[in-house]
Amino acid sequence: MAGRAPISGSQLLLALLAIGLATAVVPPLAASRLNTSRIARTQTIVGNAVRFAQSDAGRQSIAATGANVICGSGLVPKAASAEIDEWRRATLFTPNIFGNDVGADAWGQCLVFQQTSGRAWIVSAGPNGLLETPLGAAALVGDDIGAIVR
pTM (2 decimals)? 0.74
Q: What is the pLDDT of residues 18-69, one digit of tens each?
A: 776 667 665 665 656 768 889 999 999 999 999 999 999 989 988 898 888 8
Can you give the residue ranges of every domain in the chain? 9-148
Amino acid letter, residue 1: M
24 vs 130, higher pLDDT: 130
Higher-pLDDT residue of 27, 135: 135
Nearest Cα neighbor of 40 from 141, 116, 126 is 126
Among 35, 33, 92, 44, which Cα is nearest to 64's? 92
CA 54 to chain centre: 22
At a CB cut-off of 8 Å and minimum separation 6, what does 71 contact? 91, 92, 93, 94, 110, 111, 112, 113
pLDDT for 30: 60
